[in-house]
Structure 1
Amino acid sequence: MRIAFFSDIHANLPALEAVLSDIDAQKPDFVYCLGDLVGYNIWPNEVINEIRKRRIPTIAGNYDEGIGLESDDCGCAYKTDEERAHGAVSISFTNEAVSTSSRKYLRNLPRHLSMEFQQKEEKVKLLMVHGSPRKINEYLFEDRPEKSLIRIIESAGADILLFGHTHKPYHRILSYEQNGKQAYRHAINIGSVGKPKDGDPRACYVIMDLESTCSNFFPDSVDLQFRRVSYDVEKAAQAVESSKLPNFYASALRYGK
């Protein structure tokens, strides 16, 4: 079973188009989007239209929720007054730019999606969220203590947790004891298509291959590829600079910050 997961497009149409082209070449059985379609760039409607045209199952991100509710708060954790000021411009711009149809689509997106795989007598549950199972805008960073991360995944009843929001991809395999045997859970941040923050400006998404013998007792039965896709970063950056959006967001695209 081959599944593609992507997230955090943030109105960056050139990045989304490049990723979708790469996904097509990978020939997955299923494709899912983990939210934050809008914000920080000029193509919110075009991004939404592409997702809808392809009928890609999608969950809400915190930015989608804010725009869907026509709020002036995107639920983002800005660290400085300057970042908050830039963020206020971005959400105001996006609220003005989105169409009525796009806003309705964002407002009605589900919070979570899950899949359950039956392998003989064992069930493996995969859960997709934007931030965390507990909160749409909670950040699950890679350095989170292992016990905390296991507790979050276990409380959600999941074996494989996929999420975005931080824009920094990683895969952590977490061990625990189940019926006296060593078992494993997976925490997977799928990175960002349109606004990477890990120092690599290329778009990022995940291809997951689940073996037919997928099991919580065999960590290698979940095979993961972090796909990095080059796209026309300058086109996206110059679009920001030609708009009312802060140039800060153009620089962030160029340097993956």
Structure 2
Amino acid sequence: MKIALFSDIHANLPAFEAVLEDLENQKPDAIYCLGDLIGYNVWPNQVIGLIRKQGIATIAGNHDLKVSKILSSQDECSVQESSEYAYKLVGNQERDYLLTLPRHLKLEFQINNDNLNMLMVHGSPRSINEYLLKELPEQYMLDLVTEFNADILCFGHSHKPYHRIINSGKNGNDHYHHLINTGSVGKPKDGDVRACYVMLTIDHHASFTNPKSIETEFIRVKYDVERAAQAVELSMLPDIFADNLRKAY
């Protein structure tokens, strides 16, 4: 089974359109979005519209929830800070959609008498704002996946993709856990300006005792970075957001 995972689109329509086009060729069996559809660029409503049109199961990111505190586009009051402009662009219907998104998604696979639990979150199971960075101590990660019974834990938020495998087994009884950061579609921070998403392959021999039975491929997709960067510069958003896109930091 092939499962496509992506997150952190951040209203970057050119990047998201390029990813959707690539997914048409990849033909995954399922697609999930791990949040942060909006923020940092000028196309929040178009991105939300495409997510809904495609019927992509989506969870809320921390930026998505900011719309509860930001004036809607119908309000007459002016935005006090230019960084808030990205949220003011969100329409009323789109805001309602964001505020009703679930916080977690959980899948359970029953393969070869093993139950494999896959948990999808934005930041971490403990907090939507927590960064699960690759360099965090192994014991911290082990405590996390054990607490939430996750054989496969998928998340975004940091915009830095990685796949880390850790073993919680004791006394010779291996139990491997997969921690997968999806990177970012619309605002990469790993020095690669291309959009990023993950293709997760779970085969019929998948097991928590075999670390190689879960395959992860990070797919990078070229898109019109200048179009996205110039849209920022022509808006009320800070110009540094455009620099972030051109340099992927």
Asked if these proteins are the same fold (TM beyond 0.5), I'd say: yes
Match runs of 1:21-32 below 5 Å: 21-32=21-32
Q: Is 1:70–1:95's contact at 8 Å kept on the other side of the alignment?
A: no
Say if 1:161 and 1:187, in contact at 8 Å, map to a contact too.
yes
Does the residue aligned with 1:111 lie in a helix, a strand or coil?
Answer: coil
Post-superposition shift, 1:96? 1.8
1:159 paired residue number:
151
* Number of the residue aligned with 2:76: none
TM-score, structure 2 length as denominator? 0.94
Once residues 107 and 244 of structure 2 are traced to their aligned partners in structure 1, the CA distance between those partners, rounded to angstroms, is 35
Quick check: 1:170 aligned with 2:162?
Answer: yes
Quick one: distance in 1 between partners of 2:22 and 2:160? 20
- Tell me the equivalent position of 1:63: 63
* 1:89 is aligned to 2:88: no
RMSD (CA atoms): 1.4
Q: Supply the distance in 2 between the matched residues of 1:242 and 1:132 (Cα, whole angstroms).
A: 34
User: Aligned-pair distance for 1:70?
Assistant: 2.9
The residue identity in structure 1 corresponding to 2:203 is E
Deviation at residue 179 of structure 1 after TM alignment: 7.2
Q: Which residue of 2 aligns with 1:202?
A: 194
Structure 1 position 121, deviation (Å): 2.0
Map 1:113-132 to 2 at 5 A: 113-132=105-124
1:98 aligns with 2:97: no
Matched residue pairs, number?
241
Tell me how far 1:209 sits from its aligned partner.
0.8
Report if aligned partners of 1:131, 1:164 keep a CA contact under 8 Å in 2.
yes
| Shift of residue 182, structure 1, vs aligned partner | 1.6
Compare 126-135 and 92-101 and name the one that shifted more. Answer: 92-101
Secondary structure, counterpart of 1:104 in structure 2: helix
Q: SS in structure 2 opposite 1:208? A: strand
Which residue does 1:41 correspond to in 2? 41
Show CA shifts across 1:102-150 (max 9, x none): 0000000000001000013210000000000000010000100001011
Residue equivalent to 2:77: none
Q: CA deviation at 1:95?
A: 2.9
1:237 maps to 229
**From 171, 182, 194, the counterpart of 1:190:** 182
Q: Which runs of 5+ in 2 are unaligned?
A: 72-80
CA contact (8 A) 1:8 1:164 kept: yes
Taking the aligned partners of 1:242 and 1:171, their CA distance within structure 2 comes to 37
Tell me whether 1:50 sits opposite 2:54 in the alignment: no
Alpha-carbon distance in structure 1 between the residues aligned to 2:19 and 2:140? 32
- The superposition leaves residues 161-192 of structure 1 with CA deviations (integer Å, 9 ceiling, x where unpaired) of 00000000000000121574122001100100
2: distance between equivalents of 1:226 and 1:48? 23
> Aligned residues: percent identity?
55
Unpaired segments of 5 or more residues in structure 1?
73-87
| Cα-to-partner distance string for 1:63-121 (whole Å, 9 max, x where unaligned) | 00111x1348xxxxxxxxxxxxxxx532x212321100000000000000010000132
Q: Which segments of structure 1 move beyond 4 Å, counting only runs of 4 or more?
A: none
Paired residue for 1:108?
Answer: 100
Secondary structure at 1:213's aligned position in 2?
Answer: coil
Give the letter for the 1:8 counterpart: D
Q: Which amino acid aligns with 2:53?
A: K
What TM-score results when the alignment is normalised by the length of structure 1?
0.91
Find the residue that maps to 2:25 and give its secondary structure. helix
Which residue of 2 is the match for residue 84 of structure 1?
none
